[in-house]
Structure 1
């Protein structure tokens, strides 16, 4: 039987294709490098998301999300990303309802923040000082109604204990372990952030378009056994596209 150490090592191992360890552990690709199979546009446009040279390219406009076809409960998610503009903003939502409220662009869910390093300096406070630097290294927070308990609080958000993200044009690797309302985030090979007590524990994955071009690759998931999630902690199932 595979141990947690084996599974986490497989999750953290970089490879342009599934490694033998990942295949043995049960990882599968969420992005095939060819098209958008497995993903559903929620409120962006046909031009927002495309595939080029094996990469998933998001141009950043309009602001909104693309969701996974199915819901996930307990899992390990591996995702690699790079911003192409200074101050770029994006993220991945987990346990999301993938259904923005009327007048809103983004859904409920636990957001794993993806910001380019210059974001706090480009989006300054009213007094001219930079926004908190904790924003830019994988901050975790409940968006639009989802509540969490932060490991390293910045208000209701949890900021990483260590800044590990790279800047414009450089690839970053996130490994997200999500089990029974607890989330741990590894950034570029080290676990540095986490939350617990999520009010929702089963839902959709969403990739965010928020104003700047961002690229994704090697999006993989290992589904883990179900846990203690109740119906009240599960988001509503959305109808398949076209229905």
Structure 2
């Protein structure tokens, strides 16, 4: 080997690994904010440790954090690596409206996140952690990408879908921040859609106009690479924000919850909480499959199905937060579900409700799909019971009120079968709106079966206590549960009925 080549080889062997890595190559319009070689452009700062300090004590704290930075952060093979400790990696540069790309890879039991404009955070979880009812606002099982420091129950707090890859694989975030609005895509899936990011440091004020990007360290190794930024010009930012203020009217935009029951009782998609719960006294526990509520592979209309094999008190439920949108002014929603059963052979004696919407008190309102308890063949009903004094002023039992005096739609020969799936949709229209036309409509297999009209549909629920409940004494199969935040038209319900792949067609593969 010529001397020059040997010298180059020896020099390369003596160089640190990071110096041999190829420089990061940003996509068109983006620039790298991490050079892949060293910590240039970054410093150490955990804002929580200095938030309450002032004067010299704060200056000393910030100086110490900068000095500590390189002890816990290194560069290996073009990757920015943290050992799980130390201050957060913080950009020297401050950013306003941006589009931000970053890859990360972490380990079990780690907890991390990305601060935007110096504010927490786009969350990164070890999603294997189970739901802990003693810490009900902490939901790692839902996956990463949510705005964890938003108020519990607010839009964006939890990711709309699960998108994490297994440990050992790289995950990719695409984050867009314009004003206070945040969009997050994780591995190509939309997990936060334009939600307002709250200012953790002072929730009464909006986010600062500019601030650093910060990579949080919290208890386990995490690696970062391909860190790219694109500043969003004002004209583009204004156009995007205008679209937020005038949201799309298509079904996909109206969808707030979808549960496929392919693998678990949790929802696949939600603009609120995807967790399926069961009530235990005043506590909500994570609903798990068991002998009373089974998820059966390949038994559904679209993939798996939820099967209630017997009448029981086990009733999986979803909280209203960001889903049903109950309010005391003007409540509108649509609920869709597929059912498979023979009511006269499968159901046990008594009323059977496959779906209910309940609040803190049944006398303040009660909504349900119901199979009657005495008739053969059994009737199928949709009922909206408002405040007790409205629908039952003489205080007699539901069974003793004549059919035509109840706030319900009744189908005497419903098209249910063990061999075929039946699509059921009900709407809630202008509930609690004294100036609007209040109504509810029932559709089966895309066709209108009747309407609840000419009733005062006023409720008195505590919004924080509203639940969508499944399987109340129901025996049969259920699939493809979906909730929409407005009243779907008849044409939209026909379209929903005809979706070849179910509701997932409305949002799966979203990479916008």
Query: What's the TM-score, normalizing by structure 2?
Result: 0.33
Q: CA deviation at 1:61?
A: 1.1
Of the three residues 74, 80, 84, the one matched with 2:97 is 74
Asked if 2 retains the 8 angstrom alpha-carbon contact of 1:117 and 1:166, the reply is no
Distance 2:161 2:139 in 1: 14
Matches within 5 A, 1:97-108: none
- Which is bigger in relative contact order (C-alpha 8 A, separation at least 6)? 1
Whichever of the two has the greater Rg, that structure is 2
The aligned residue for residue 183 of structure 2 is: 184
**Gap change, CA 1:116 and 1:224, over 3 Å in 2:** same
How many residues were matched structurally? 184
Displacement of 1:189:
0.9
Confirm or deny that 1:90 pairs with 2:79.
Answer: no
CA distance in 1, matches of 2:133, 2:148: 20
Give the C-alpha shift of residue 88 in structure 1.
1.1
* C-alpha displacement of 1:47: 1.6
Residue 158 (structure 2) aligns with = 159
Q: Which residue of 2 aligns with 1:49?
A: 73
* Aligned match of 2:125: 115
Q: Which has the higher helix share?
A: 2
Q: Are the counterparts in 1 of residues 100 and 174 from structure 2 also a CA contact under 8 Å?
A: yes
Counterpart-to-counterpart distance in 1, 2:72 and 2:126: 19
Output the CA distance in 1 between the equivalents of 2:233 and 2:108: 40
TM-score for the superposition, normalised by structure 1: 0.67
1:46 Cα offset (Å)? 2.4
Structure 1 runs not aligned, ≥5 long: 1-15, 97-108, 143-147, 229-243
Q: CA deviation at 1:221?
A: 0.3
Give the superposition deviation at 1:186. 0.4
CA contact (8 A) 2:94 2:210 kept: yes
Distance in 1 (CA, whole Å) between partners of 2:197 and 2:137 is 31
CA contact (8 A) 1:80 1:173 kept: yes
Q: Is the 8 A contact 1:48 1:61 kept in 2?
A: yes
Deviation of the 1:222 alpha carbon: 0.3
Q: Report deviation, 1:177.
A: 0.6
Equivalents in 1 of 2:32, 2:93: separation in Å?
Answer: 14
In 2, Cα distance between the equivalents of 1:41 and 1:202?
A: 18
1:77 deviation in Å? 0.3
Cα shift readout 1:207-226 (whole Å, capped 9, x = no counterpart): 11111000001000001125
> Residue by residue, what CA displacement relative to the aligned partner does 1:4-56 show, whole Å, maximum 9, x if unpaired?
xxxxxxxxxxxx8425xx23x2x100111100111011235422100011111
Which residue of structure 2 lines up, in the alignment, with residue 36 of structure 1?
A: 39
Q: 1:55 and 1:126, CA in 2 relative to 1: closer, same or farther beyond 3 A?
A: same
Asked if residue 137 in structure 1 is aligned to residue 140 in structure 2, the reply is: no
2:229 maps to 1:207 = no
* Bigger mean CA deviation after superposition, 70-79 or 39-48: 39-48
Aligned to 2:58: none
More strand by share: 1
Residue 73 of structure 1 contacts residue 202 of structure 1 at CA under 8 Å; is this kept in 2? Answer: yes
Deviating beyond 6 angstroms after TM superposition, the runs of 4 or more aligned structure 1 residues are none
| Alpha-carbon offset, residue 58 of structure 1 | 0.5
Match of 1:8 in 2: none
Residue 231 of structure 2 corresponds to which residue in structure 1? 223
Query: Counterparts of 1:57 and 1:197 in 2: how far apart (Å)?
Result: 27
1:114-169 Cα deviation digits (max 9, x unpaired)? 11222x23x84549x99524553212144xxxxx6x8xx63586111110011321
